[in-house]
Structure 1
Amino acid sequence: MSDTPTAIVAGPDLYDLGDALKAEGVAVSRITDIVSTETLENAGIAEAALLVFTDTAEATGIPVAKENYPDVRVVVYADESLPEFVKGQADLAVDPALLDASIVAEELVGSL
């Protein structure tokens, strides 16, 4: 396993959190399709420290990820609220209107 932390960004990433994480030294892979066990595995979930959702429509992927990889830190960085059924499974939810992607990335990397 590499010393470089890894993150998966699932969704359109309209606020460029993936790029902000890269600027902090994180290796980033992306899921642009539906989040499923297969797309998570193809993106490298087994090695990922962070799984970032930028679209709450993909929130059903949160329990899929947590069930198979309970140690991955799930972060939601989206304008919309999380559905009730997954609120307790996300480790952190941030509204992009409140915190810039560069600040979120810096804090996330600092907590790894």
Structure 2
Amino acid sequence: MDHAVVIGSDPDGLGEALEEHGVTVSRATGTADRDSLVDAGIEETDALVVTDVGLATSIPVARELNDRFRVVVYSHDSIPEFARASAGLVVDPDLLDVETVAEELTAEH
């Protein structure tokens, strides 16, 4: 993974952990609407990291712009059912810390 777009406040610091593993991280601001996703580089990203499930409505919008990225949800809250099928990885921060998730996302498989 070379690039990730983070949406949400990222209170646990997954974006920073990814940066420590060499990933370029950009953030879609506000409600992560179409314009902020484009500004953050969604069209060329490898991953959309959702840290606020209230912004899950951004997933289908992002998919319209790029259908090749992995969706990672890192939140204490449950992801809405409509977005669950799009999520490649859903992790509760109480189960895995940011370092472990960053290592897994950046490991060569």
TM-score, scaled relative to structure 2? 0.94
2:65 aligned with 1:68, yes or no? yes
Aligned mates of 1:15, 1:111 — CA distance in 2? 24
Matched residue SS, 1:62:
helix
1:18-37 alignment to 2 at 5 Å?
18-37=15-34
Aligned mates of 1:108, 1:6 — CA distance in 2? 11
Q: How many residues align?
A: 109
The alignment-based identity, stated in percent, is 48
Q: Which stretches in structure 1 are left out of the alignment for 5+ residues?
A: none
Matched residue SS, 1:51:
strand
Q: CA RMSD in A?
A: 1.4
Q: 1:49 aligns with which of 20, 23, 46?
A: 46
TM-score, scaled relative to structure 1? 0.91
1:71-105 superposed Cα distances (whole Å, 9 cap, x missing partner): 01111000000111111011111000000001101
The ranges of structure 1 where at least 4 consecutive aligned residues each deviate by more than 2 angstroms after the TM superposition are none
Q: Which stretches in structure 2 are left out of the alignment for 5+ residues?
A: none
Letter in 2 for 1:98: L
Shift of residue 66 of structure 1? 1.6
Structure 1 stretch 66-75 or stretch 10-19: which is displaced more? Answer: 66-75
